[in-house]
Amino acid sequence: MRPKIIAGNWKMNLSEKEALALASGLKEKSSSLPDNKKAVVFPSSIHLAAVARILENSKIAVGAQNIYPAPLTAMTGETGPDQLSEIGIKFALVGHSERRQFLGETSVFCNQKISYLTKHGFTAVYCVGETLAERESGNTFEVLKKQIQEGLGSIESDQFSRIWVAYEPVWAIGTGKVATPAQAQEAHAFIRKEISGLFQNGKTISDAMPILYGGSVKADNVKELLSQSDIDGGLVGGASQKLESFLALF
């Protein structure tokens, strides 16, 4: 059985006071979270260390929104896995659509990140998804196939136990629009099939891999989304940034 996962991406939101208050509230409530669901939050980098300290030894893990795939080096403005390990971080987002769209992050570069992360004990959450134009032109599966093959194609099979995939249709992120459960399930099933084709024993790998849905996930749609056979959780934006709306997802 794959775990059900609720992952909160705080993006470039929340002041220090707000971030620490949210983390403290989550710590207080974490013991009441169901044992059959995992929870991870991804604060902005400036709040990572403080949030990690608050949530240490709780049911809620903490991850980074971005990493640079190298040991300590001269890369201004970036944060490396070695630095994150020092503060107890073992999760990282890779290839979120906003980084692809506005910062030019490619699936090939994501591959480098995923390989480095998983070899150094991190869980990489690899984000894939199509734009509205790509969906309307009938290219959704072509886009997903390319992202899977370029992002995961050369990753060694034993590293896949530390990879999650997040399907986030770009047209549904922060727009209030949500893929229907049937649309989301169809994309998730396709992603799982593509991953299974990467290796001789790929079905075993893909059957075990959590695939999350990201795109305006809220309390009023999360139950139906998670009832789909290939949807294992949500990568949540706005609803994860307030205590009540995040807890309502469980």
d(CA 119, CA 230): 26
Query: How do strand 233-236 and strand 163-167 relate by DSSP bridges?
Result: unpaired
Burial state string for 32-52 with b = 16 or more CB within 10 A and e = fewer than 16? ebeeeebbbbbbbbebbbebb
Residues annotated within the binding site for substrate are: 9-11, 174, 216, 237-238
- Helix 16-29 to helix 48-55 angle (10° resolution) is 20
Spatial neighbors of 69 by CB under 8 A, at least 6 apart, are 81, 112, 113, 115, 116, 117
- Using left for φ > 0, alpha for ψ between -120 and 50, and beta otherwise, residue 50 falls in alpha
Q: Which residues does the annotation mark as catalytic?
A: 96, 168
Residues 9, 12, 13, 15, Cα dihedral to 10°: 120
What is the chain's Cα-based Rg?
Answer: 17
3-state secondary structure of 134: helix
Q: Give the annotated binding-site residues.
A: 9-11, 174, 216, 237-238
